[in-house]
Amino acid sequence: MGRKLPNLNSIRAFEAVARHLSITGAAKELNVTQAAVSHQIKGLEAQMGVMLFRRHNKGLLLTKEGQAMAQPMTSALDTIADATNLIFNSEIQILKIAMLSSFASGWLVPRLARFYAQYPNIDIRILVTGKGIDRLKTGDVDLDLRYGDGKWPQVESQKLLSEEIFPVCSPALLEGQKPLKNLSDLEKHILLHDHKDIGWKEWLDDAGVKGVDYSRGPGFSQVTLTLQAAVLGHGVALGRMPLVAELLKKGDLVRPFDISLPTGMGYYLVNIKTTADKSKIRSFTNWLREEVRIFEQAI
């Protein structure tokens, strides 16, 4: 069955007017007359059978139907433009992204081969950053995959992945001399700690576990080191989803209990408004959203 599509010139005119909320602004962008833009909009409204704009004393406003169409049309035209650039622009583009080393090694890097297969003309540069370091502000990167609560001034952020915590250990430890069968068995094991604010105390309280000294056990300044210690059988760690997903998938770590605690934190895609329209950023953002969708379906 063939696609039922409006005239592409009408779509381009509508999308431009929807962004500018101005016939004049759209005409200037498209390098056509205002009359031509108005003609395309009237033709599209006639074909759709609805009004897409209404007059306002300060200009134009989108109707409910216009609002429903605007963002999907912008995304569709961006996708067409990016796909075209892959053919006509063979120049390698560099995309610099800041992130924590734990997110890079635990989640993003294992998936990057799929990005390179889809966008061979974009090379990713990962700059490992620390808490409180703003590489976007200094202009060192194009994007920031940031851990936190999403509340940062003067940037745009969209949540990608939520964080939840739960105990993890090596398979050998699970069935060893001190098996982990019940929650109370945790008092017989060494607890491994990371540097995050929400940790063993909060998880044990939420699970209703008593009698476990959550203050004891070795600690590490990086989540990756904590998880490495757990893989080696040094004790029981708190796995942080999504960082622990690959280790669970490979069987290096297992979950002795099903109880998870959402921390209220997560991983966000952060950018500055003035850079959001670059094709390389759009390409990475669209790919990343799809990877998140696949990941969340899998878990």
Return the CATH number at 98. 3.40.190.10
- Flag whether 292 is in a domain: yes
259 and 171 in a common domain: yes
The answer to whether residues 157 and 169 belong to one domain is no
Domain range for 246? 163-263
* Averaged pLDDT score across all residues of the chain: 89
Where does the pLDDT of residue 273 fall: very low under 50, low under 70, confident under 90, or very high at 90 and above?
low
Do 38 and 183 belong together in one domain?
Answer: no
Does any domain span residue 289? yes
**Residues whose CB is less than 8 angstroms from the CB of residue 290 and which lie 6 or more positions away in sequence, other chains included:** none
> Of the candidates 88, 115, 137, which is a domain's last residue?
88
> Is 203 a residue whose pLDDT tops 90?
yes
DSSP, res 190: P
**Are residues 258 and 197 located together in one domain of the fold?**
yes
For residue 1, being part of any structural domain is answered with no
Question: Residue 36 is encoded by which pair of tokens?
Answer: 């031509």
Q: What is the Cα–Cα distance from 251 to 255, expressed in whole angstroms?
A: 10
Instruction: Please check whether residues 43 and 111 belong to one and the same domain.
Output: no
Please say if the pLDDT value at position 210 is more than 80.
yes
My answer on whether 154 and 68 are in the same domain is no
DSSP summary character for residue 193? B
pLDDT the model gives residue 86: 61
Assess if residue 2 is contained within a domain.
no
Q: What is the pLDDT of residue 89?
A: 60
Say yes or no: 167 and 251 in one domain: yes
**Residue 243 and residue 239: Cα distance in Å, rounded?**
7
Domain holding 46: CATH number?
A: 1.10.10.10
pLDDT tens track for 14-73 = 888 888 888 888 888 888 899 988 898 898 888 888 999 888 777 788 999 989 888 888
Task: Report how far residue 166's alpha carbon sits from residue 237's, in angstroms, rounded to the nearest whole number.
Answer: 8
Residue where a domain terminates, one of 40, 61, 88:
88
Q: Is the residue at 81 inside a domain?
A: yes
The answer on 275 and 259 residing in a single domain is no
d(C-alpha 214, C-alpha 201), whole Å: 6
Q: What is the pLDDT of residues 106-159, one digit of tens each?
A: 999 999 999 999 999 999 999 998 776 788 888 889 999 999 999 888 888 899
Write the pLDDT tens digit of every residue in 82-119.
667 666 566 788 999 999 999 999 999 999 999 999 99
> In this structure, are 74 and 110 located in the same domain?
no
- Tens of pLDDT, residue by residue over 175-198, are 778 888 899 999 999 999 998 889
**For range 2-16, the mean pLDDT:** 82
Residue 3 lies in a domain: no
Helices 279-298 & 64-88 angle (0-180, nearest 10): 110
Averaged pLDDT for residues 209-215: 91
Domain match, 169 and 247 both: yes
Strand pairing class (237-241; 122-128): unpaired
Predicted TM-score of the model (pTM): 0.72
Q: What total of structural domains would you count in the chain?
A: 3
Q: Does the pLDDT of residue 248 top 90, yes or no? A: yes
- What pLDDT, on the 0 to 100 scale, is given for residue 129? 86
- Residues written for the chain: 299
Domain boundary among 63, 88, 113: 88
Least confident of 44-48, 158-162, 254-258: 44-48
